[in-house]
Structure 1
Amino acid sequence: MTGAASGMGRATAILLARAGAQVAVTDVSQEAAQAVADEIAGEGLSARAWALDVADHAAINRVAQEAAEAFGDISVIVNNAGISANLPIDDAGYDAQWDRHLAILLTSHQRLIRAALPHLRRSKAPRIVNIASTEGLGATAGFSAYSAAKAGVIGLTRSLAVELGKSSITVNCICPGPIETGMTQGIPDEAKQTYAARRTALRRYGLPEEVAFMTVSLCAPAASFVTGAIIPVDGGLMARNA
């Protein structure tokens, strides 16, 4: 899985390992990825770490092949790597941010899926889970590049669910809402509390583990008939009008 060194990625990697998976922990930082793999190994479970910049097409192909060789095959893909930046559309740096957001948040998803597809087609229980965002279902001013990329992930998920269904590959998408991660840790607690009380039904931010449990559930045998689903894990944010 990508973006596995912190936040929702770390929580998902640990839960997948506890569910019996051999986990390829990838992140842009080898040191950070290795720390999570060591944490998993410390529980007597199986994981290996790779440094992976998901904007690097050749690196995606290489790591997918190495992971398949290390573990014997690939049965599950979790596209979780992410970035986020607030930038108005008329900012001089907008084009660069647009390209970077689409490369990391959307293009990398299809590239990893394509790299792993021969292995997934051989699997008895192939699963793809893409992590999008409620920003792909709604929008916040200043995040148009992020929102566009996440909406693209939702479209990619639905299309590939239809296309790959004949190979019994399920493709689903999770849309986290406000979650306590590295991306949100710079927001003052008071601002988080105000936002959560105003926007979410549960009146709080979610935890990385609450997203991870949903991701892992979509990889379980019991989810074999779930595909093309877009699942908000958002404390009721998208359900609440006022």
Structure 2
Amino acid sequence: MTDSPEEFLPHLDRSIKGKSAIVTGAASGMGRATAALLASEGARVVVADLGEDRVEAVVSVLKDKYGDDSALGVVCDVSKPEDLRHLVSQAVEWAGQLDIVINNAGTSRPNTTVQDDDEFESVWEQVLAINLTAHARLVRLALPHLLKSSSPRIVNIASTEAIVAQRGLLSYAASKAGVVGLTKSLAVELGYHGVTVNAICPGPINTAMTSKYDPEKKAAYAKARVPLRRYGDAEEVAQMTLNLCLPASSFVTGAIIPVDGGMTIRHT
């Protein structure tokens, strides 16, 4: 301990102002909420998703609210390596740097062991390509640029399906468990370079993906399974993502954080 009377005062930076971030799957749901939150905190955000109209709709709102330099839209199918290469090159050309990567894009399709062979293979390949393989590819492409950042951050969006599971989502559960394993392995590998890699496991969240469920059944499920007795909001996931992106979160890596209202810790 030094003699300085101010040694114990906070000194770590909790601002991402001026940072550059890629958010995949950013045209809706948790990705859109994350892109908006990062932009509100002063980051320059690359909004990546399918569909030019969907992407530009989000970018337009962010620019109107936070300025013309707050957002860039890039149409990207994360299952295609060439699209990911284009995404990273556009992000770096626009912002001149890359500090944050949020692997949020995902898909879910019914998938069981008793499906027709062709259908099983098609679903399995698509879900794994989007939910898992794309994460690894984007990290590899972004890494040379992240290594130039003073606080490089990677956040992978997994799911509570990586912790607990339900029938009928074989490939989805496998892919999200894979994201957890990938996150841990990347955290060990990239820790030597000061890059933090963490994963968030959202539970029942109000998004377009869950909007198709009957509201009464959703309410009953939440009361029966979730200690907080409700579905979460997309911004509640985004806020945790932001926390992991802060320069001050410099000693958090390899963490797997459920944002699920306590669902996965409830025994009965």
Q: 1:43 pairs with 31, 43, 65, which one?
A: 65
Q: 1:197 pairs with 223, 245, 263, which one?
A: 223
Inter-partner Cα distance in structure 1 for 2:53 and 2:240: 27
Q: 1:73 pairs with 73, 93, 97, which one?
A: 97
Aligned residue pairs: how many? 242
Q: Runs (4+) of structure 1 moved beyond 4 Å?
A: none
Q: Deviations over 1:55-78 (max 9, x none)?
A: 000110111011111100110000
What is the CA distance between 1:33 and its match in structure 2?
1.0
What is the CA distance between 1:34 and its match in structure 2?
1.0
- Residue aligning to 1:136: 162
Q: 1:94 pairs with 113, 120, 134, which one?
A: 120
What is the CA distance between 1:106 and its match in structure 2?
0.1
What is the CA distance between 1:149 and its match in structure 2?
0.2
Inter-partner Cα distance in structure 1 for 2:165 and 2:254: 22
Q: What amino acid maps onto 2:202 in structure 1?
A: P
Inter-partner Cα distance in structure 2 for 1:165 and 1:41: 34
TM-score, normalised to structure 2's length?
A: 0.89
Q: 1:124 pairs with 139, 142, 150, which one?
A: 150
| Contact 2:132/2:175 (8 A) holds in 1 | yes
| Contact 2:97/2:145 (8 A) holds in 1 | yes
| Contact 2:111/2:124 (8 A) holds in 1 | no
Q: Deviations over 1:151-206 (max 9, x none)?
A: 00000000000000011000000000000001000000011011111111101100
TM-score, normalised to structure 1's length?
A: 0.99
What is the CA distance between 1:20 and its match in structure 2?
1.2
Q: Deviations over 1:216-242 (max 9, x none)?
A: 110012211110000000000011011
Q: Percent identity?
A: 51
Inter-partner Cα distance in structure 2 for 1:150 and 1:43: 34
- Residue aligning to 2:33: 11
Unmatched segments (≥5 aa) in structure 2: 1-22
- Residue aligning to 2:247: 221
Instruction: Decide which structure has the larger Cα Rg and report it.
Output: 2
- Residue aligning to 2:211: 185
Q: CA RMSD in A?
A: 0.7
SS at match of 2:93: helix
